[in-house]
Structure 1
């Protein structure tokens, strides 16, 4: 993949960096030899990103050509809006206060060159701001009103970098290109770049280490450069063609921010942000399944005004679920009136709406894996020993989860497969795990999960390596389709 720095005038960039081409904006915009490049990463260092300026068109045409611009047009637009800037940076408040605590002035300007500042003490704040607004040169303006507030963040025109900062700029640029995987010769031998997001500290990740290695091996054989990334690699998303999330997802979590940014930057994403939003909220799922007339155990959306109706409507015991529950966490069984009141008090204190379902005990739940709106695998997930759920987080370590039995499709009741597909296809065409209870020959949807478990020796027991290959083939096909659309445009 070619790496190209674009400036208004060649005199604006005097840092010679290995494997980095430097060209003027006019050449990139008008010379047909740049139009026809299939794989390129464009580092836009033009003096202005204003609407319809040369800098604006460099990133706009880069996206149209299927190249990867930094900054993207989306980032350019975000930088213009103080409301968006404040919304995106709200979670940095603690870091902002800590970083600027020693200042005695009422205003402060932080210059960020390739994610760094000349003062080492602002290193972490610079990195975080650069992660959120990926532009090479940024100027963050802070004001003090009872506490430090980020008033604005904007691009720095390269010709406005002070002369006494020039040596820092060159050093930070070299560090940036060396630290990121922009210069690796191996990239040129691979057609696709895939990032797999993992959390090495997660106790029950969706894929174990052996399964992750299977994904990497299969992807490598299909022409992918594959790299495991973590939550600290947010800024590196533009390096890749696709993001595959193998970490438990949640909306109020970095996994959703990764999915959202990757999707906005044109990467293929599994799990995509829409699927995360839809699957991780049980209230949404309940409404969606009810509207589509997909059978579920008797379900009601509970709020403070109808909580007294729960016992009559669902009977006891009944199951209560927090909207964002997953892996049996945030799901409880109310055995009697007293425990029902207690659990409702606690859950409704955290959320305006929760889910209640009739208790439908079975020895196992079906899990149907679905990809591209087609069944991928089928398993029986048995309840944890002496427990009513698949997972028992309060039990002994060896009894945390029940057994898993992988089942060939011909042995899965048609009604289970059909109902699972109907439910998953309401969400999208991604990778899902649909939990189904089979009772008296009928199938009832419990939930649709994005980010389903795929572990070595469990879900892959029948298909083996072909299971991993099916998912990587889907990612490859999506990348190819995306590139073809870009070419057609």
Structure 2
């Protein structure tokens, strides 16, 4: 993909960076050569981004042409909004205070070049601001108030305003950014589309193990994707890609949700999309949705402080309590007696005004049907951990899991597949894992998971490499449809 630096005048960017072309804004906007270019990354360094100025139109038309502008129009608008800057200051409050508390001055200006600052101690804050406001050059002004430091202004300096002493660092930062710190990409064959795969190496229970991640990469590259793994601190790079595939456990109050929302706003194809994350990660929503659509499930009560005494009478004991955003068996407890029930309910209600109580249904295993685009791909039986009522048993900092076996879709009971398809359809067309129990011949939905586990040797045991190709193929079809719609 060609990389363009667009400037108001040629002298506004005198640095020469290998593999990067310099174009004036007038040429980019009016020369049909650039409008006909199918794909490009456009680094907009125009002198002004004000409404309807050339710099504004460079980012606007870059998006219309299917190019990837930095900054994007939404970033330009955010930079003009004092409300957005105020909210961002509050979000980064602890980091800002940690960085500037030792200073004696009441004012500080931070220069950020492609997400970096000259002083290493401000590197994390610089990256955080760049992630929130992805623009090649940023200047942040901070002020100390009575209750601490705040971000007062954020803007984009002109090249002429950059001190001479910063030039070598600016060049180094630009070269690192333009190269993407990805030397392996130069050896790859040209690809039609770029896909970012969000992973977190520090996650204790990732949805895919390393072997599965590599199989996703192989399948995607065979289909024509250029796949790159990105981490939690690289939200500012989303505009470089055509699609985002999240392979990190999702939550609403979490960077995964921010990634999904930002990618959707940037026009990327996203799995998991923010709507699916919002619906699937909240057990209260799922319980209400399943009940309203008359999909069989365990007897369920949405619990608040005024009806907690109804749990034992309506659901009996033992009973299962779930915090709304529980995942991987964390935040899910089984209660056997009334005293423990009161204690557990009060503890959970401290963090959420609503929790979920469900009747306890003992089974030897849970069904899991994996689907994408409304189509079932695999069926697993997750057996309970030995001597435990859940698939995962956590005790003393250790984790024990039950066995799992995988069936083809055709081998599974038709009622399991039909129920899973119907439940997933209430969420959307994303990648889901529907968990079900079979009790006395009756199929009941426990929950619908976005971002389901796909590990090598487990979920792919039947389809093997075809499972990864199916998922990547759906993403490819959506990217192509999106590109076609832009023409």
Shorter-chain TM-score above 0.5: yes
What is the match of residue 246 of structure 1? 247
How far off its partner does 1:97 sit? 1.3
Judge conservation of contact 1:180–1:236 (CA < 8 Å) in 2: no
1:269 is paired with a residue of what secondary structure?
strand
- 1:291-440 matches, within 5 Å, as 291-394=292-395, 400-440=400-440
- Say whether the 8 Å CA contact 1:177–1:183 is kept in structure 2: no
State the distance in 1 between where 2:7 and 2:459 align: 51
Find the residue that maps to 1:307 and give its secondary structure.
coil
Q: 2 CA distance for matches of 1:140 and 1:429? A: 41
Q: For 2:227 and 2:113, locate their aligned partners in 1 and report how far apart those are by CA, in whole Å.
A: 28
Structure 1 contact 181–239 (Cα < 8 Å) conserved: no
Gaps of 5+ in 2: none
Structure 1 residues 427 and 123, CA, compared in 2 at 3 Å: closer, same or farther?
same
Give the 3 Å change call, closer, same or farther, for CA 200–280 of structure 1 in structure 2.
Answer: same
Taking a change above 3 Å as real, the CA distance of residues 410 and 173 of structure 1, as seen in their structure-2 partners, is closer
Distance 1:117 1:220 in 2: 35
Q: CA deviation at 1:167?
A: 4.8
Q: Is the Cα contact below 8 Å between 1:49 and 1:56 reproduced in 2? A: yes
Relative to 1, partners in 2 of residues 1:72 and 1:335: Cα closer, same or farther, differing over 3 Å?
same
Q: How many residues align?
A: 486
SS in 1 for 2:350: helix
Supply the distance in 1 between the matched residues of 2:33 and 2:130 (Cα, whole angstroms): 31
Q: Secondary structure at the match of 2:393?
A: coil
Deviates more, 1:186-195 or 1:32-41: 186-195
**2:217 matched residue in structure 1:** 216
Q: Which residue of 2 aligns with 1:457?
A: 457
Moved more, 70-79 or 408-417: 408-417
Q: SS state of the match for residue 115, structure 1?
A: coil
5+ long unaligned stretches in structure 1: none
Encode CA deviations 1:130-166: one digit per residue, 9 max, x unaligned: 1221101112121111210112312223343345544
CA drift of 1:335 comes to: 0.8
8 A contact 1:328–1:391 mirrored in 2: yes
Residue 353 and residue 54 in structure 1: after superposition, are their counterparts in 2 closer, same or farther (change >3 A)? Answer: same
The 1:280/1:88 distance shift into structure 2, 3 A limit, reads: farther
Does the CA contact (< 8 Å) of 1:206 and 1:248 recur in 2?
yes
Matching of residue 204 in structure 1 with residue 210 in structure 2: no
Partner of 2:256: 255
* Preserved CA contact (<8 Å) 1:380 1:405: yes
Q: CA deviation at 1:89?
A: 4.4
- Aligned-pair distance for 1:182? 9.6
Give 1:385 shift.
Answer: 0.8
Q: 1: CA distance between counterparts of 2:220 and 2:152?
A: 44
Q: How does the TM-score come out when normalised to structure 2?
A: 0.95
User: Could you tell me how far 1:175 is from its partner in structure 2?
Assistant: 3.5
Task: With the length of structure 1 as denominator, give the TM-score of the two structures.
Answer: 0.94
- CA distance in structure 1 between the aligned counterparts of 2:25 and 2:184, rounded to whole angstroms: 22
Give 3-state SS (helix, strand or coil) of 1:379's partner: strand
